[in-house]
Amino acid sequence: MERGHVVNLAQTGEKCLKIYSERLYGVQSNTFANSHIQPFDVLILDYNLPDRNGLEIGKEILAINSHQRIIFISGYVKDALSRTLNELNVPVEILQKPVSNQIKS
């Protein structure tokens, strides 16, 4: 928020899917049927969520909206995670934990 971003937080995968579905439905009802709809500029999904893993959530989101940009964040080794995320068959980005909010000059 400090930098002007609007952030929606979800503590679980199920809550994330609920928020995403509601926003997607709202955007779809106000756009043309063949438009590339992205209710969020980007989703940042933790690979380890309390109820499910982020890969499962990402798959579900991409199944209903293949144009959504997703960044996965994880404390796992980036190379190992990259192999797993190849299952999505879409470009995704990975942020390695810990992540700093400091701007580097």
What is the residue extent of each domain of the chain?
Answer: 13-96
Give this prediction's pTM. 0.76
Report which of 16, 84, 97 is spatially closest to residue 55, judged by C-alpha positions: 84
Cis before 98? omega within 30? yes
Kind and range of the H or E run holding 43: strand 43-46
* pLDDT tens track for 81-92: 676 777 777 777
Q: Strand 70-74's sheet: what is its strand order? A: 43-46, 70-74, 93-96
Q: Which residue has the higher pLDDT, 1 or 3?
A: 3
Q: Residues of 5-35 as b/e, b for ≥16 C-beta within 10 angstroms?
A: eeeeebeebeebbebbeeebeeeeeeeeeee
Note the maximum CA span of the chain.
Answer: 43
Please tell me the CATH superfamily of domain 13-96, with its number: Response regulator (3.40.50.2300)
The whole-angstrom separation of Cα 88 and Cα 104 is 31
pLDDT tops 80 at residue 80:
no
The reported pLDDT for the residue numbered 28 is: 78
The reported pLDDT for the residue numbered 103 is: 67
* pLDDT tens track for 9-66: 999 999 999 999 999 988 877 766 556 668 899 999 998 888 998 889 998 999 998 8
Helices and strands counted in the chain (H then E): 3, 3
